[in-house]
Amino acid sequence: MEVGFLGLGIMGKAMAMNLLKNGFKVTVWNRTLAKCEELVEFGATIGDTPAAVVKKCNITVAILSDPSAALSVVFDKDGVLEQIGSGKGYIDMSTVDDDTSSKIHKAVTAKGGSFLEAPVSGSKKPAEDGQLVILAAGDEALYEEAIPAFDVLGKKSFFLGHVGNGAKMKLVVNMIMGSMMNAFSEGLVLAERSGLNPHALLDVLDLGGIANPMFRLKGPTMIQNNYSPAFPLKHQQKDMRLALALGDENAVSMPAAAAANEAFKKARSMELGDLDFSAVHEIVKIHKSSS
Amino acid sequence: MEVGFLGLGIMGKAMAMNLLKNGFKVTVWNRTLAKCEELVEFGATIGDTPAAVVKKCNITVAILSDPSAALSVVFDKDGVLEQIGSGKGYIDMSTVDDDTSSKIHKAVTAKGGSFLEAPVSGSKKPAEDGQLVILAAGDEALYEEAIPAFDVLGKKSFFLGHVGNGAKMKLVVNMIMGSMMNAFSEGLVLAERSGLNPHALLDVLDLGGIANPMFRLKGPTMIQNNYSPAFPLKHQQKDMRLALALGDENAVSMPAAAAANEAFKKARSMELGDLDFSAVHEIVKIHKSSS
Amino acid sequence: MEVGFLGLGIMGKAMAMNLLKNGFKVTVWNRTLAKCEELVEFGATIGDTPAAVVKKCNITVAILSDPSAALSVVFDKDGVLEQIGSGKGYIDMSTVDDDTSSKIHKAVTAKGGSFLEAPVSGSKKPAEDGQLVILAAGDEALYEEAIPAFDVLGKKSFFLGHVGNGAKMKLVVNMIMGSMMNAFSEGLVLAERSGLNPHALLDVLDLGGIANPMFRLKGPTMIQNNYSPAFPLKHQQKDMRLALALGDENAVSMPAAAAANEAFKKARSMELGDLDFSAVHEIVKIHKSSS
Amino acid sequence: MEVGFLGLGIMGKAMAMNLLKNGFKVTVWNRTLAKCEELVEFGATIGDTPAAVVKKCNITVAILSDPSAALSVVFDKDGVLEQIGSGKGYIDMSTVDDDTSSKIHKAVTAKGGSFLEAPVSGSKKPAEDGQLVILAAGDEALYEEAIPAFDVLGKKSFFLGHVGNGAKMKLVVNMIMGSMMNAFSEGLVLAERSGLNPHALLDVLDLGGIANPMFRLKGPTMIQNNYSPAFPLKHQQKDMRLALALGDENAVSMPAAAAANEAFKKARSMELGDLDFSAVHEIVKIHKSSS
């Protein structure tokens, strides 16, 4: 199977490599050429421009760093739009907002192409291990066609309906995650101030019905006040805000998420926004002798 | 090793049986005699009264249904106090409040006995399988002595320091659990009202960093509005209230827990208190067309 | 002093009438002509179009019903822009969003005119009595020039700095008002369920340090479950949302406002959005026997 | 009319003085005698003990500083109980908890006396000016008999039903006040961080529908970070806690009060508990450059 691949950042490189290792023919493009060359050793072909990649491949996957890069690759000169058309599919796996996704969707389908948004859950390690979770939405036939590639890239892929649903699903998951992180921080602080050993709390939690990888992974570093960013707090807060806005549109009252969001905002006001989102722990902890 | 065992309810019977199967000599007592006889088949001896059990055994374990039963077994005529004394240990594994635990603790030690509170996390199934988590606090020497029994009863036991810490640890865990349940309910409702399939949300959650047994177990029944009580909502709300009170004593501000607590209170006002605590989902769901 | 006046809705008509009664020469325009004629009896001149009004008067005041009407009067054919220019001032007293205000501001100043946003606090009665509170922002010289008119229209006018500050001030006030309404509703329900007479609560409140016109006015109708709309709940919730968004921009954490906002959202989900914002009381009241 | 008066603290002295000035015959007692002598100049008689005062007067009023003082005056040797009985009334105007009030109530009525709890709203100045608000509950006949005294002491008195209702009414009022203070603080901080002048906000608020003495009085000092205690924050937080507990008993969900309570708890954790309750403003204000 032949696949075009646009964007070789941390995630993209690992994903393209996986496709190559699993026997896919991959034509890659990246804004800075050097990154492409590393993949040539493993059998990749280089495309000169996004348009050239789309011309050559029936399915092109993109994973760009942000909305403006995602738009630029499609709409700029030598971009995807110049070659997309009937019989060709474009799969954007970037995490972008509704608006961006919708613009690309409209432009691609106006040209006769088919489109899928497919943001992923998981970071560098799962990308390398082919253990991502893929939240696809848009053209179902394209989804079916892409399954062999998704099977290599992820441990599981979902088809969630019309364009926008992939992004919404990510928001819902991240909202639950953000509220859980607040609950967890409150528990850690309550334990410590009540004379319990927070490490014992971690052990007890990990043996019970709410044991989960996040508590297991973040708990020990939070106790050490170590918040090196895996998922920056300001992004978590942005997702809480967007999830609350989605709730507002649909008249869903979410007081727990709202309380968590305000704690993340307090953390931003303390200039913790670039740390890991577990740094909300610092807000729960603030008290006289620590300030 | 010889162990006395007071209280053969659902939990107690399973636990005493485990001890017998693992070669312990067990002398049992229960308010209604019939329950003791079932265990005699498996090698148990019957004690006529709590006092008789304590007289015979150096270590006596109790697991009673509520504070008044826990107090009665100790303080009533023919109770534990009549025979407890130097060289004898009493381990109360009931889930009781601070006050109750503290009264028993003082009475037992005043007679020269040693005392351990050791509430457990886990219900019927883990009790049968010896997979409880034991939160012990009090006399450390007694804890060491009891380890062989704890190893049979639980997958893990903790020694948490002075009397009261076992109960506190349970409160902290249950507080986190209650906040998580609210976050989870909000996510389920947001998904559904935003046009996502809530079953897909469960699948996505279960593949990610916040996957946990509670979401896995309760999610499908919550979607079906099925809340048959494993842990009654009114007890969950009571634990939230006590955890918040513990925070109040120690000047720990916990806005996420407070928001969750108010939702559980709303659920009580809707007469959902006897259902499972996951019924807080009904509160998040309330809207015009459902009422 | 000569003043142009665009928009003769409930508010506009009362305000234009006040200007006339106080000796101002007023040239009025309204989309439907009939409303102008009522004012002619009191000495008003009619302008055929917004452009004609601006041509004739150095200061033109507008109070339109919503952002689209506010934009249309300026940008459409025969609109304000066609005649605005150096030496002419335009004062928009409509309550509109930042964006709308900013568009009008830019267009007017690009033509050389001066601009003031001046939303008001107060409804029909204060408009008739000249008792509005005027929150002006933009061109300070124009503000100074308009003071004689503002003195007639309001009991007090403020100059708040650059364009946008008038709208922000309204949001902050309405946010405090929305949180207070929630606190008040919770108090009324707590009183009633605790066996106190809610009318006695109103009396006690009105004698103390937090006595205020809103409690005095809305309390008795809330107790009767009467919520005929003075300020619709959906507008109050929109202002809470915008105030929280303003806080988000400036990293201000506002947990009380967030909790109040979620209650208003719940009210919207119960289809109470078109009732008075005091209908949030219904959300606090919901319990089993009332449902 | 003859009245006994126990307790000549700041409040008690002002109140007793008012009674004397208005022609009541007053027999006073205070733990430290000196305070009584000041009142003798104005016509007061001194009673040697609480019992002596009760023996002499058919109605005895007490206003003590805290529950232990309120209990001591009744139950200690030479206390109220020794002389109370049929035909004699005891009115406790102290602010105490339910339990204390209930103990005194039971003891007085067991002796055949009649009892009224009558906590007041208002501090030193209103006490001097006879402008207190009196929240009476208990024996209605005694209330009727005491009206001439209440008319002198307060601008208004209420009879609220059975013992306990006076204290509950105070809690409900203070809960609303605490939530309002949070809303007000959030508004002040939002104004300032959004580039508005907080003094202008105070002016705008004071002209509108939510204008109230508390905003007027505390606003200017809060802007100056001046929190000299009129009502200490720790007492406000205690009242929020008790009001939330009253809600818990009656299954009333109060998310706005809960959010406010957590902010007051945060303030306590920052050691602001002895400042005025308006110091919760400091919690809303905390951000990086201020810490």
Q: Judge if D61 and D93 occupy the same domain.
A: yes
Torsions phi, psi of C4, nearest 5?
Answer: -85, 150
Q: Judge if B11 and B155 occupy the same domain.
A: yes
Q: Judge if A146 and A185 occupy the same domain.
A: no
Other residues' Cβ atoms within 10 Å of the Cβ of residue B1: 16
Distance in angstroms (rounded) separating the CA atoms of residues A264 and A238: 9
Q: Judge if D16 and D95 occupy the same domain.
A: yes
C-alpha dist (Å) from residue C64 to A141, B37, C91, C119, C148: 50, 86, 11, 11, 21
Q: Judge if C210 and C227 occupy the same domain.
A: yes
Measured in angstroms, the CA of D229 and the nearest CA of chain C are apart by 15
Q: Judge if B47 and B154 occupy the same domain.
A: yes
Asked whether residue A102 carries a pLDDT value surpassing 90, the answer given is yes
Does any CB of chain B come closer than 8 Å to the CB of residue C41? no
The one-character DSSP state at C167 is H
Kindly indicate the confidence band of residue B280, based on its pLDDT and cuts at 50, 70 and 90. very high
Distance in angstroms (rounded) separating the CA atoms of residues A233 and A178: 10
User: Are A66 and A96 spatial neighbours (Cβ–Cβ below 8 Å)?
Assistant: yes
User: What is the bridge-based pairing of β-strands D114-117 and B132-138?
Assistant: unpaired
Other residues' Cβ atoms within 10 Å of the Cβ of residue A223: 17
Asked whether residue B54 carries a pLDDT value surpassing 90, the answer given is yes
In chain B, which residues have their Cβ closer than 8 Å to the Cβ of C286? 266, 269-270, 286
Interface mutation vs chain D, best among A269, A270, A272, A282, most D CBs within 10 Å: A269
Measured in angstroms, the CA of A252 and the nearest CA of chain B are apart by 6
Asked whether residue B291 carries a pLDDT value surpassing 80, the answer given is no
A165-193 vs A213-223: helix axis angle to the nearest 10?
Answer: 50
The one-character DSSP state at B254 is -
Residue C223 burial class via C-beta count within 10 angstroms: exposed 0-12, middle 13-18, buried 19 and up: middle
- What pLDDT, on a 0 to 100 scale, did the predictor assign at position A30? 96
Q: Judge if D261 and D238 occupy the same domain.
A: yes
Q: What is the pLDDT of residues B116-130, one digit of tens each?
A: 999 998 888 899 999
- What pLDDT, on a 0 to 100 scale, did the predictor assign at position A291? 41
> Looking at residues C78-105, what average pLDDT do you find?
94
Q: Does C198 map to a domain?
A: yes
CATH number of the domain residue B257 falls in: 1.10.1040.10
Q: Does C290 map to a domain?
A: no
- What pLDDT, on a 0 to 100 scale, did the predictor assign at position A79? 97
Q: What is the pLDDT of residues A151-202, one digit of tens each?
A: 999 999 999 999 999 999 999 999 999 999 999 999 999 999 999 999 999 9
> Looking at residues B242-253, what average pLDDT do you find?
96
Does any CB of chain A come closer than 8 Å to the CB of residue D190? no
pTM (two decimals): 0.92
CATH number of the domain residue C81 falls in: 3.40.50.720
Measured in angstroms, the CA of D204 and the nearest CA of chain C are apart by 7
Kindly indicate the confidence band of residue D276, based on its pLDDT and cuts at 50, 70 and 90. very high
Nearest to C210 among D168, D176, D193 (CB): D176
Three-state DSSP class for residue B6: strand
Interface mutation vs chain B, best among A199, A252, A276, A278, most B CBs within 10 Å: A252
The one-character DSSP state at C159 is E
Distance in angstroms (rounded) separating the CA atoms of residues C245 and C254: 11
Nearest to D193 among C184, C250, C284 (CB): C250
Token reading at A216: 């297991």
Q: Judge if A73 and A177 occupy the same domain.
A: no
Domain boundary among A162, A194, A223: A162
Question: What is the ipTM for the molecules in this complex?
Answer: 0.91
> Looking at residues C49-74, what average pLDDT do you find?
96
Distance in angstroms (rounded) separating the CA atoms of residues D227 and C173: 23
Q: Does D290 map to a domain?
A: no
Asked whether residue A20 carries a pLDDT value surpassing 60, the answer given is yes
User: Are A248 and A238 spatial neighbours (Cβ–Cβ below 8 Å)?
Assistant: no
> Looking at residues D146-159, what average pLDDT do you find?
97
Q: Does B290 map to a domain?
A: no
Q: Does C291 map to a domain?
A: no
> Looking at residues D129-145, what average pLDDT do you find?
97
Domain boundary among B141, B162, B183: B162
| Amino acid at residue number B269 | S
> Per the CB < 8 Å rule, is B183 touching A176?
yes
Continuous H helices in chain D: 10-21, 34-40, 50-56, 67-75, 98-110, 124-129, 140-153, 165-193, 198-206, 213-223, 233-249, 255-269, 280-285
- DSSP per-residue string spanning C98-116: HHHHHHHHHHHHHTT-EEE
Closest alpha carbon within chain D to C255: D259
Other residues' Cβ atoms within 10 Å of the Cβ of residue C249: 10
Q: Does A111 map to a domain?
A: yes
C145 sits in which H/E element: helix C140-153
Kindly indicate the confidence band of residue D290, based on its pLDDT and cuts at 50, 70 and 90. very low
The one-character DSSP state at C49 is S
- What pLDDT, on a 0 to 100 scale, did the predictor assign at position A290? 46
Closest CA to D8 of D52, D38, D49: D38
Residue A176 burial class via C-beta count within 10 angstroms: exposed 0-12, middle 13-18, buried 19 and up: buried
> Per the CB < 8 Å rule, is C259 touching A255?
yes
The residue with greater pLDDT, A118 or D121, is A118
User: Are B232 and B242 spatial neighbours (Cβ–Cβ below 8 Å)?
Assistant: no
Closest CA to B256 of B269, B244, B239: B244
Residues 6+ apart with CB under 8 A from B191: A168, A169, A172, B197, B198, B200, B201
Q: Can you name the residues that pair with C27 across neighbouring β-strands?
A: C4, C45
Q: Judge if B52 and B68 occupy the same domain.
A: yes
> Per the CB < 8 Å rule, is C196 touching D168?
yes
> Looking at residues C69-81, what average pLDDT do you find?
97
**Where is average pLDDT lowest: B169-178, C73-82, D89-98, D188-197?**
D89-98
How many distinct structural domains can be found in chain B? 2
> Looking at residues D48-71, what average pLDDT do you find?
95
Token reading at B118: 């050791």
Nearest to A270 among D266, D270, D288 (CB): D288
Does any CB of chain A come closer than 8 Å to the CB of residue D259? yes
Asked whether residue D207 carries a pLDDT value surpassing 50, the answer given is yes
Distance in angstroms (rounded) separating the CA atoms of residues C120 and C230: 15
**Where is average pLDDT lowest: A92-101, B169-178, D250-259, D262-271?**
A92-101
Neighbours of C, requiring at least 3 CB pairs below 8 Å, are A, B, D
Closest CA to A69 of A88, A48, A89, A50: A50
**Where is average pLDDT lowest: C208-217, D117-126, D180-189?**
D117-126
In chain B, which residues have their Cβ closer than 8 Å to the Cβ of D266? 253
- Block residue for tokens 């040539």: A40
Three-state DSSP class for residue B188: helix
Token reading at A247: 């709730």
Other residues' Cβ atoms within 10 Å of the Cβ of residue B68: 11
> Looking at residues B158-185, what average pLDDT do you find?
96
Measured in angstroms, the CA of C55 and the nearest CA of chain D are apart by 34
Q: What is the pLDDT of residues C261-275, one digit of tens each?
A: 999 999 999 999 999
Nearest to C261 among A241, A258, A263 (CB): A258
Distance in angstroms (rounded) separating the CA atoms of residues B89 and B61: 9
Measured in angstroms, the CA of C287 and the nearest CA of chain B are apart by 5
- Block residue for tokens 């049979």: B152
Domain boundary among C119, C138, C162: C162
Residues 6+ apart with CB under 8 A from C81: C51, C74, C75, C107, C108, C111
- What pLDDT, on a 0 to 100 scale, did the predictor assign at position D121? 87
> Looking at residues B79-89, what average pLDDT do you find?
97
Asked whether residue A52 carries a pLDDT value surpassing 70, the answer given is yes
- What pLDDT, on a 0 to 100 scale, did the predictor assign at position B167? 92
User: What is the bridge-based pairing of β-strands A132-138 and A120-121?
Assistant: antiparallel
Q: Please identify which of the residues D13, D88, D170, D218 carries the catalytic annotation.
A: D170
Q: Can you name the residues that pair with A187 across neighbouring β-strands?
A: none
Distance in angstroms (rounded) separating the CA atoms of residues C201 and C27: 50
Asked whether residue A99 carries a pLDDT value surpassing 90, the answer given is no
Other residues' Cβ atoms within 10 Å of the Cβ of residue B253: 27
Q: Does A291 map to a domain?
A: no
Distance in angstroms (rounded) separating the CA atoms of residues C262 and C240: 10
- Counting one residue from A and one from D, how many pairs have CB atoms under 8 Å apart? 22
Q: Judge if C12 and C98 occupy the same domain.
A: yes
Domain range holding D78?
Answer: 2-162
Q: Judge if B138 and B271 occupy the same domain.
A: no
> Looking at residues A35-43, what average pLDDT do you find?
93
- Residue D4: left if φ>0, alpha if ψ -120 to 50, beta else—which one? beta
Mean pLDDT of chain B: 95
User: Are D98 and D68 spatial neighbours (Cβ–Cβ below 8 Å)?
Assistant: no
Token reading at A134: 């893929």
Q: Which of residues 207-246 of C touch A (CB under 8 A)?
A: 241
Q: Which of residues 146-175 of C touch D (CB under 8 A)?
A: 155-156, 158, 160-161, 165, 168-169, 172-173, 175
> Per the CB < 8 Å rule, is D270 touching A291?
yes
Distance in angstroms (rounded) separating the CA atoms of residues D159 and D120: 12
The residue with greater pLDDT, D50 or C231, is D50
Does any CB of chain A come closer than 8 Å to the CB of residue B21? no
Measured in angstroms, the CA of B92 and the nearest CA of chain D are apart by 29
Token reading at C94: 């409509």
> Rounded to an integer, what is the distance from CA D283 to the centroid of its chain?
25
Q: What is the pLDDT of residues C165-207, one digit of tens each?
A: 999 999 999 999 999 999 999 999 999 999 999 999 999 999 9
User: What is the bridge-based pairing of β-strands C120-121 and D2-6?
Assistant: unpaired
Interface mutation vs chain D, best among C170, C194, C248, most D CBs within 10 Å: C194
Q: Does D103 map to a domain?
A: yes
Q: Judge if B219 and B139 occupy the same domain.
A: no
> Per the CB < 8 Å rule, is B291 touching C269?
no
Other residues' Cβ atoms within 10 Å of the Cβ of residue B24: 18
> Per the CB < 8 Å rule, is B266 touching D253?
yes
Distance in angstroms (rounded) separating the CA atoms of residues B189 and A175: 12
- What pLDDT, on a 0 to 100 scale, did the predictor assign at position D96? 86
Other residues' Cβ atoms within 10 Å of the Cβ of residue C21: 12
